[in-house]
Each structure stands twice: as C-alpha cells, then as structure tokens.
Chains A and B, each alone.
Chain A
C-alpha cells in the first residue's frame, strides 16, 4: 500500500533500531504528546525494540481523555434539553462523566448521533430545522479548523439551529504546563504529527530555548517513530536540543496557513479546563464574540451540578506522565474497556486503553 508500506519496511526498521542501540548510552526519558502516538508505539511494540535505558511516557494528548468532567457533564446535560439533537465523535459516547455518560443518556431517550465529521453534524442541522443541533467540539488544533469551517458554512448558509460546545485545546501550552510542573524529568519530546501539520514546528521553539530539551515531530508509522527516537537520542547524546521534523511528508515548519486562518477567524485563545491539570490559561479555543450565536454554553441554560471524579481513578496522574496505566489499582481488574472508570480506558487513543489492548504482561 503506497505511503504506508514504505514506512513499515522491516529492513529499514531494523537498521534504525540498530542505530538507536548504537547511539544511546545514557538514560533518557521521552514523552509523546499525542494519543495516536501512544497507540502506535504500543501497537507496533516499539518499547520492546529500543534500548532499556530509554523510557517512554504518555502525555496529555488524547482529546477525549483531557476533557474535564465539568465540560463532559455539560454535554451530557444538554442531551436532555427538549427538541435537541447532540452530535459527537464516537469516542465520547462511553466516557463516564460525574453521573452519567452520553451512551447512558441515549439509552434514556436522548437523541444523540455519532458523526465522523462536523460536516455530518451540519447536515443533520439542515435536515432537522425544527431541532437544535449541538456538536460537542473536542480535540486539539487538528479538529479545530474543521469545526471552524462548519461554523463559517453555517453562517454563510444561514443555518440557525447549529451550535457547538468548544472544549477545544491547544498543544504547545499544555507541553509548557507539563514542563513547568516539573513532576517528571524529561529529556526529549515526541511532537504530535497531526497537530503540527496544522501549526507547524515554530510553536515548539520555546522547548529547547527555555527548557533545554529537544522536540522531534513524528508521524505514526513504525519507521516514523523510530526515526524520531533516533533523532532525539542523537540530540541527547550530542547535547544539542532543537526542534526537528521527522514527518516531513506532512509537516511544514510554517504549518497549514489555510487551516490556521480558518481557526483564527472563528476562535480566540482562552483558558481551558484540563482533566488532571485544572484550568490552564491561554490553552483553549473559544468562539469569538461575533460567533457567539453558535455557542451552546451561551445559548442554552445548562446546569449539570458540581463535577465529581471517579474514586480510585488515576487518569489525571497518567495524563501528566507521573504514573503508568499499569500502576493504577483499577487497571484491568475493575477498569476495562467494557466497564471504564476513567476516560483513558475509553478512548481508542487513551493510554490505559492502549496498554490494555496491546500491552504484553
């Protein structure tokens, strides 16, 4: 398969693995900031292939996982509004909120549609003019441009029954927050491939400058990830931290101008509420004043009550990289993909789900 097989080439992979083993002499701790990377690393067994002195941690990069219970509760509560259709990405359905889940709300009669893109949500709004159609906007810079595009299209077509929750988050600020917390000492960062396709590599320059560690942006195939680790090891061994792109077929230093323009037209930067980390200033995207009529939080009166965290769940610590999924007392015993306690076990990009699905004990 073109554009896939090249990046799974076994011979090249073995060469890269050998080079990493050759180069790596000192202990190194790397963190990936994308849920897609967490899954790919475990699915391809990358941890078993690299030297034991290299430690890999998962960061707060799964869009479903980082959504705070307070926000999730609003979405679930809105599903019970009269004459309302909720549209959401599928991963959100099973995530347990403080008291319920979207899946549960659906079983109780709420009208909830799983969609594959915001365009589908917009179509549902057009097809059901008598209902309010709310899209639950989660994700990072990757999903934000398409959500922005749907707002602009709704504006242009005069669709008056389409609304969104903007729980959108930004990646560089949360990397900074993790580095500022200083709970884990990191020697290098595996930069998110899809986010960087949108924002480019410049927004990460602060990492080597202010924190003295490297950031290498990676794709999602085994060779991409191995190449990224190889570059990080090279930087660590040579003590030359910098921002590099190991995913050049997708990521340009300046990002995707058109997508960025769409985002900037519709959204402005504001604070966001993160699971496990609380409110981080300037880490989220909020609808601009001129698009407030699309803002579900503004238009509907929703009061889900105070959020509650599930007892014993350490998703927050896992998202900060200070605990591994296997260190959670609930992991595999009480918390499973069928009966998830926390979101990291639900999402296909969640660290707990990836360890559950692919981990070798």
Chain B
C-alpha cells in the first residue's frame, strides 16, 4: 500500500514528530536547525537582504524540476537580484491530506540538492497538513536571508540612459515546460524548465564590474513584464531588438502553436542586468563562462525617449510597444 500524508501528520503529535525526524530534518541537518528551538538564533552584522515567496505551481513535478527546487531557487534568486549572497532559508510546507509520502520524499531530496547547489542552509521550517481539497497537493513558502557587500547598490530604480541590457539566456523555458504538463493541454516536447540558482552567476558578474545598476529575474509575466517594471521604476525608456532575444526552437514552436508570445512566458533561471555601457562587454564575457549564462546576450539599451515604456524593434524594421502582461495567458481560439 502506498503511504500517504494524513491529517495527523500535521497535528503536532507523534506522527508529526515521526515525519520530522524521519523525513524532513535529516537531509538538512546543520547546527542552527538541529537545535529545534522555536526560532533559529544567530549572530549577524552587515547589510541584510530579506525576501519571501510562496510556491503553488501545478503540477508539482514538471520537466526540469519540481516545486521543491523551485521554492529554493526562486528565493535564492530574489536575494541574488539585490546583489546579496544568500545565507539562510526558511521552508514552510502546506500539504494536502493524501499526498503520497514517496512524492514528498522526492521533493525533499530535490530541496536538498538545490540548497547544496546554491550553498545555502535551511535554519527553520514548519509543516501543516490541511483537509483534502483545501490545498492542491503541496504549497511551499520559503523566506531567505542574505548579506549584501558594502557599497553595493543594485536596484530597479538605478537604470541610466545609454546603459546596456543583458539577458542571461533563452526565455520561456520554464513556463512552457509547466504548460506542457497541464491537464487538457498536454503536449510532448523536449522543453525543460530552466529553474536554477543564479547567485554564483551574479557574484561572478559583480567581480567583473562594479557598474551593474539593476538585476531582476524575469519570472511570472516574463521578460516583457520585467523590462516594463525596470523602465517605470527608473523612469527611463528601454529599447530592445527582437533578433537579439534568444528563444529555444522548441519554445518558439510551442508558443506559435498555442498563440503565446515568449516575451510573456515565465522563466526561473534567467536574469536581466542593466549595466553601464562601457562595462557591458566584460560582464557579458564573464556571464558566458557560467553554465547559466552561456547563451547570454546584449538585447538592447536604456534611452531617454519614451520614459516608462519598452519598445521592440522588429526584424523587419518596425517598432512596437512591449506592454506588461495583462491577465492570464490563454491560447487563442481560432
């Protein structure tokens, strides 16, 4: 018989402890976590970055990753986008009654692998079990703490006219990988999620230049939405060139088929950097050496024209507005 999560696993009683001691704690053992006090206590000095995010992806397993890997990488990347070196993570699980324990174990393993890759440790956590139907299999919340080197000032408000815009690689992989698994829309595709921790890529970029003005990971809403956020926050215009934006063949094909624009599809292992134009080439060269930046390219620049707006030059020489994502993406009907 397949063992499943019962309501009692979240009761705080014996089954809860069993789950903790057998499944949840051992993979993450470290001195701060192992104390098992109500809060993790540690010394700290310097500038801190603190972020939180909840993960509700459906399905919980998708090509190239799962909700666990996503929950670690997503929060690590949010820290990295402020230039912070990620240190500590909290992980909170909301499990729907009936989830197979085997599936939970697979996700825990994946969380473990992701924390190892990102060199971050989990120092506190929580587990709740809710009635069937009150959650969808598993929701995860993670919060992250990181430390920012002195003098470093990275913000979406820092873009300056004539800065270059660098994209770290192909867009749309994560969104289309998840989409390909959705009920009613299943299609066979080699597309895998790009879900990855970008903190090392960022630290290598920061070694190459002190003139990185903005960093952001184009997750929900895709590249288009991220560029719009940056243009508005910095009150500058952004112009990109269609032919410079890398999109994998399979993603382009799936997007064509479903009527999506890759510019609006989610990524989980990509970043946009806005960099002083004199430093752009050296940052780009450094990025290309990292496995998560091999396909990086300079896709455009910051302009004084059309502040707050993003314009794309098409291959045929026309230009069009790239607006933020509006509503949910739905395939066309004819």
Task: List the interface of chain A (C-beta within 8 A of B).
Answer: 1, 4, 8, 10, 13-14, 17, 36, 42-46, 48-49, 63-64, 89-91, 93-94, 114-116, 120, 138-140, 142-143, 194, 222, 336-338, 348-349, 356-361
Contact = CB atoms under 8 A, between A and B. Distances in A.
B117 to A, nearest CB: 32
21 contacts: A1-B256, A4-B252, A8-B315, A10-B316, A14-B316, A14-B317, A36-B334, A42-B320, A43-B320, A44-B318, A63-B333, A91-B330, A91-B332, A116-B185, A120-B184, A139-B333, A139-B334, A140-B334, A337-B326, A357-B323, A358-B320
A35 to B, nearest CB: 8
B4 interface: no
Interface string B310-331: 0100111111110100111011
Contacts of B253: 1, 4
B331 A90 contact: yes
A46 B319 CA distance: 10
B249 interface: yes
Given A8-B315, A222-B316, A115 B321 contact: no
Contacts of A140: 334
Contacts of B185: 116
Contacts of A36: 332, 334
Nearest to B327: A337
A45 B332 contact: no
A10 B317 CA distance: 9
B324 to A, nearest CB: 10
B327 A94 contact: yes
A360 B319 contact: yes
A348 B332 contact: yes
Most buried by A among B249, B319, B321: B321
Contacts of B331: 90, 116
Given A4-B256, A8-B315, A338-B327, A143 B184 contact: no
A328 to B, nearest CB: 17
B259 interface: yes
Given A49-B318, A93-B330, A348-B330, 10 more contacts: A14-B317, A42-B320, A48-B319, A63-B333, A90-B330, A114-B330, A139-B334, A194-B334, A348-B332, A360-B320
Contact of B320 (A45, A91, A139, A336): A45
Contacts of B334: 36, 63, 139-140, 142-143, 194, 349
A115 B184 CA distance: 7
Interface in B277-319: 311, 314-319
B315 A10 contact: yes
Interface string B257-287: 0010100000000000000000000000000
A326 to B, nearest CB: 13
A43 B242 CA distance: 12
A356 B327 CA distance: 14
A94 B330 CA distance: 12
B333 A91 contact: yes
Interface of B is mostly: loop
Contacts of B327: 94, 337-338
A220 to B, nearest CB: 10
B218 to A, nearest CB: 18
A45 B314 CA distance: 8
B75 to A, nearest CB: 28
A358 to B, nearest CB: 5
Nearest to B250: A1
A1 B316 contact: no
Nearest to B184: A120
A219 B316 CA distance: 17
A89 B258 CA distance: 13
B256 A49 contact: no
B315 A116 contact: no
Contacts of A43: 261, 320
B326 A338 contact: yes
A43 B259 CA distance: 12
Nearest to B331: A116
Contacts of B252: 1, 4
Contact of B184 (A45, A116, A338, A360): A116
B187 to A, nearest CB: 10
Contacts of B319: 45, 48, 360
B242 to A, nearest CB: 10
A45 B185 CA distance: 30
A118 B184 CA distance: 11
Nearest to B318: A45
Contacts of A139: 333-334
A266 B318 CA distance: 45
Contacts of A93: 330
Given A36-B332, A120-B184, A48 B256 contact: no
A222 B219 CA distance: 29
Contacts of B249: 1
A114 B326 CA distance: 18
Contacts of A42: 320
Contacts of A44: 314, 316, 318
Contacts of B261: 43
Most buried by A among B256, B314, B331: B314
B199 to A, nearest CB: 34
A336 to B, nearest CB: 8
A89 B333 contact: yes
A349 B321 CA distance: 17
Nearest to A42: B320
B320 A49 contact: no
B148 to A, nearest CB: 35
A111 B11 CA distance: 33
A356 B316 contact: no
Contacts of B321: 357-361
A44 B314 CA distance: 7
A351 to B, nearest CB: 15
A360 to B, nearest CB: 6
B316 A349 contact: no
B316 A17 contact: yes
B30 to A, nearest CB: 45
A152 B158 CA distance: 61
